């Protein structure tokens, strides 16, 4: 069966390459073997993402992150001791993307023309998928590394097109997951400059108060790159019904994520086992179903897997060995009553419609 093109709206590729020291050009089995005896990260030897597996799964376009948190002296979260160091890390990550481009492994997308060219390439059956570059749109996950608001000009110049103000914990521009509070004055200033560039605001990881502030004040395009449903997993990291309705009203797309704790309330990090709890890929469809019922259609959901977000198979659905298994959703969605057009929309169509409206010509 011919595979459908997939767009994954959230992958931390450069973070894995630089901080995990993974050569993502290698086959997944080789990466896992090389990490078998490494104790430094919980997902060593269990990773699910590499460039060959992306191609195998026809995941031809991704939203790829830069990510470097500033961690003040009183913070318990790992991070960099100054915004300047965090900025330097994002530039190292950018350098990795540039190296992948130089090797023909990846190709950056900054405008509609480049997006459509990449779609045409991945829909061209005359060329083997194994030889095609992965198209990537650059997203900054958490704005801490922008030393001040003026740094957004530099970032936009090198192709940054999407930005989320916060990540986990306190942030210079906005507090994030597992915290409370409003967007900081610095963050409100950043939103004004972002709107001038018509950048995509990623609402993922904002507090409830920050979410409302951002939607009320930001006039540019918004999305939630990797978010599930609070009604099913009742914690602040997931979207409430009211937030989902507001996002749908703004024409946003919500990317379903495959971290088990975001799929099933029973799962506890570093303790639970996906197989014992029988957490499968299909459970994400429950979240999608809920969003579709609230929105009244299937035009606001997509994939934002986060599959390399500091976890591997130990924290992923047990019926998924690698990111290429995203293709299994075709059969799952068909069985759940989604039409062929619905599946196309979830796999890539909704993200394409959004990006064609949001990106500059």
Q: What is the mean pLDDT of residues 180-196?
A: 98
Confidence at residue 188, expressed as pLDDT on a 0 to 100 scale = 98
Domain ranges (residues) in the chain: 7-358
pLDDT in tens, 155-164: 999 999 999 9
Q: What is the mean pLDDT of residues 248-275?
A: 97
66 bridge partner residues = 140
Helix, strand and coil percent figures for the chain, each rounded to 5: 40, 10, 45
State the residue for tokens 């061209």: 124
- Under 8 Å between Cβ of 30 and 147: no
Residues whose CB is less than 8 angstroms from the CB of residue 218 and which lie 6 or more positions away in sequence, other chains included: 191, 194, 195, 201
State the residue for tokens 């799929």: 263
Residue 87 to residue 68: CA distance in whole angstroms = 7
For residue 21, what are the CA distances in angstroms to 25, 50, 87, 194, 250? 12, 12, 19, 32, 39
Confidence at residue 76, expressed as pLDDT on a 0 to 100 scale = 84
Architecture in CATH of 7-358: Alpha-Beta Barrel (3.20)
Go through 204-226 and write b for each residue having 16 or more CB atoms within 10 A of its CB, e for each that does not: bbbbeebbbbbbeebeebbbbbb
State the residue for tokens 């083997």: 128
135 bridge partner residues = 61, 107
pLDDT in tens, 75-103: 888 899 999 999 999 999 999 999 999 99
Q: Which residue in 274, 287, 265, 277 sits closest to 332, CA to CA?
A: 287
Residues whose CB is less than 8 angstroms from the CB of residue 32 and which lie 6 or more positions away in sequence, other chains included: 45, 46, 47
CB 83: neighbour CB atoms within 10 A?
18
Query: Is residue 224 pLDDT above 90, yes or no?
Result: yes
Residue 239 to residue 57: CA distance in whole angstroms = 28
Q: Which residue in 193, 260, 190 sits closest to 232, CA to CA?
A: 260
- Under 8 Å between Cβ of 228 and 272: no
Beta strands in 166-246 (DSSP E): 200-202, 222-223
**Taking the mean position of all CA atoms in its chain, how far away is CA 172?**
21
In this prediction the pTM is: 0.97
Query: Is residue 329 pLDDT above 80, yes or no?
Result: yes
Annotate 288-347 with DSSP letters as a single string: HHHHHHHHTSSTTEEE---TTSS--GGGS-TT-SSGGGGGGHHHHHHHTT--HHHHHIII
User: Three-state SS for 91?
Assistant: helix
Burial class (CB in 10 A: 0-12, 13-18, 19+), 114: middle
Q: Which residue in 163, 168, 172, 108 sits closest to 141, CA to CA?
A: 163
Q: Which residue in 146, 127, 135 sits closest to 64, CA to CA?
A: 135
Percent of the chain past pLDDT 90, that is, above it, reads 97
Confidence at residue 309, expressed as pLDDT on a 0 to 100 scale = 93
pLDDT category at 129 given cuts 50, 70, 90 is: very high
User: Three-state SS for 66?
Assistant: strand
Confidence at residue 158, expressed as pLDDT on a 0 to 100 scale = 98
């Amino acid at each position: 069966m011919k595979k459908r093109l997939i767009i994954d709206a959230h992958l931390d590729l450069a973070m894995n390459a630089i901080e995990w020291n993974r050569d993502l050009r290698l086959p997944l089995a080789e990466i896992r073997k090389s990490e078998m005896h490494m104790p430094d990260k919980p997902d060593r030897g269990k990773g699910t993402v590499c460039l060959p597996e992306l191609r195998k799964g026809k995941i031809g376009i991704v939203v790829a992150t830069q990510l470097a948190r500033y961690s003040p002296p009183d913070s318990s979260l790992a991070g960099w001791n100054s915004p300047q160091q965090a900025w330097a890390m994002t530039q190292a990550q950018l350098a990795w993307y540039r190296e992948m481009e130089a090797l023909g492994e990846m190709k950056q997308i900054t405008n509609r023309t480049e997006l459509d060219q990449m779609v045409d390439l991945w829909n061209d059956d005359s060329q083997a998928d194994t030889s095609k570059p992965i198209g990537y749109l650059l997203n900054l996950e958490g704005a801490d590394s922008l030393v001040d608001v003026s740094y957004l000009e530099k970032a936009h110049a090198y192709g940054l097109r999407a930005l989320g103000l916060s990540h986990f914990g306190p942030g210079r521009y906005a507090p994030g997951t597992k915290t409370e509070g409003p967007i900081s004055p610095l963050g409100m200033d950043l939103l004004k400059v972002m709107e001038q560039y018509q950048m995509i605001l990623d609402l993922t990881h904002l507090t409830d108060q920050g979410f409302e502030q951002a939607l009320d004040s930001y006039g540019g395009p918004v999305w939630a790159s990797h978010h599930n449903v609070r009604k099913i997993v009742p914690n602040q990291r997931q979207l409430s019904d009211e937030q989902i309705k507001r996002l749908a009203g703004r024409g946003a797309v919500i990317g379903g994520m495959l971290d088990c704790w975001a799929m099933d309330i029973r799962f506890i990090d570093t303790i639970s086992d996906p197989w014992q709890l029988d957490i499968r890929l299909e459970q994400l469809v429950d979240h999608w179903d809920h969003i579709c019922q609230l929105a009244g259609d299937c035009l606001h959901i997509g994939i934002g897997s986060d599959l390399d977000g500091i976890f591997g198979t130990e924290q992923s659905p047990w019926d998924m060995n690698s990111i290429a298994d995203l293709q299994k959703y075709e059969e799952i969605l068909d069985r759940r009553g989604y039409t062929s057009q619905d599946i196309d929309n979830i796999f890539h169509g909704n993200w394409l419609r959004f990006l064609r409206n949001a990106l500059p010509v």
